[in-house]
């Protein structure tokens, strides 16, 4: 699936502007600045298709990208962005929550967690919501290049311990760096299983 061209198809700011489902979808969720958009570019080796920024809060709509006729990658707005206006923040978070729990065609939600900062309250809330609603999700530790392998291992163990009773959690945990490319090939294989044949 990753050999296909990545094409932006839609940006939705509300439930009424969502594009119709015509492919299996996988979504990338996580705190602002965790590296969601960067990962979409790195996975597809197509830089700049999903816009990235060192300022948190860049992605402010749910953005849909088609990979040929196989799969749709969904870039979600980040949560926990401290500088956004309170009501705007809540509106995005509600929209994201509604999307991940109700979108037909959504095969899996990848919850990205910064390897350096680890799991935060908002991540846990999202995980527990998906557990309750039966959405399948998988944890991805990002920016593995900025922590030592030992710390990376520790982070992974901590998170698995916290969620060990969870039924919807898909294993194994994935660790990636969009910067060095570490873990990307494994991740591509993982995502490709969800694509249309
Ligand atoms: P929002 O759209 O604000 O929610 O952020 P995002 O999660 O889409 O993050 P984005 O991909 O825009 O990346 C945020 C910052 O992290 C940028 O400065 C990236 O260059 C940096 N970054 C992303 N991935 C990596 C990585 O694997 N390693 C390192 N060192 N930096 C990364
Ligand atoms: Mg983004």
What is this model's ipTM?
0.98
Q: Which domain holds residue 139?
A: 6-192
- Looking at the 3D structure of the chain, how many domains does it have? 1
Ligand 1 proximal residues by C-beta, below 6 Å: 30, 32-38, 52-54, 56-59, 77-78, 142-143, 145-146, 177-179
Half-sphere exposure of 49 (CA within 13 A, CB side): 23
- Is residue 36 included in any domain, yes or no? yes
- Is residue 197 included in any domain, yes or no? no
pLDDT, tens digit, for every residue of 134-165?
Answer: 999 999 999 999 999 999 999 999 999 999 99
Whose C-alpha lies nearest to ligand 1, atom 23? 35
- Is residue 1 included in any domain, yes or no? no
- Do the beta carbons of residue 167 and residue 132 sit within 8 Å? no
Q: Which atom of ligand 1 is nearest to the CA of 38?
A: 11
Name, in order, each residue with C-beta under 8 angstroms of 2's C-beta and a sequence gap of 6 or more.
Answer: 43, 44, 45, 67, 188, 191, 192
Model confidence at 48, pLDDT cuts 50, 70, 90, reads confident
In the reported structure, the alpha carbon of residue 165 is separated from the centroid of ligand 2 by a whole-number distance in angstroms of 30
pLDDT at residue 65 in the model: 93
CATH of the domain at 11: 3.40.50.300
pTM: 0.94
pLDDT, tens digit, for every residue of 13-43?
Answer: 888 999 999 999 999 999 989 999 899 999 9
Mean pLDDT score of the chain: 91
- Is residue 67 included in any domain, yes or no? yes
pLDDT, tens digit, for every residue of 160-175?
Answer: 999 999 999 999 999 9
- Is residue 42 included in any domain, yes or no? yes
User: Is pLDDT at 79 greater than 90 in this prediction?
Assistant: no
In the reported structure, the alpha carbon of residue 45 is separated from the centroid of ligand 1 by a whole-number distance in angstroms of 15
Model confidence at 58, pLDDT cuts 50, 70, 90, reads low
């Amino acid at each position: 699936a990753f050999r296909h061209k990545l094409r932006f198809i839609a940006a939705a700011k509300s439930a009424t502007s969502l594009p119709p489902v015509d492919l299996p979808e996988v979504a990338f969720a996580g705190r602002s600045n965790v590296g969601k958009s960067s990962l979409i570019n790195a996975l597809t080796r197509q830089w700049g298709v999903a816009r990235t920024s060192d300022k948190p809060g860049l992605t402010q709509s749910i953005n849909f990208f088609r990979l040929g006729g196989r799969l749709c990658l969904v870039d979600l707005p980040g949560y926990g962005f401290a500088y956004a206006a309170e009501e705007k923040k809540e509106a995005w978070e509600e929209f994201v929550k509604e999307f991940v729990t109700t979108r037909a065609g959504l095969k899996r939600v990848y919850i990205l967690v910064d390897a350096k900062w680890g799991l935060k309250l908002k991540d846990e809330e999202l995980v527990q919501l998906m557990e309750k609603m039966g959405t399948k999700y998988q944890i991805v530790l990002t920016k593995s290049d900025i922590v030592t392998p030992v710390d990376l291992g520790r982070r992974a163990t901590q998170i698995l311990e916290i969620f060990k009773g969870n039924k919807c959690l898909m294993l194994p945990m994935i660790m990636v760096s969009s910067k060095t490319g570490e873990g990307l090939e494994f991740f591509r294989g993982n995502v490709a299983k969800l694509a249309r044949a």
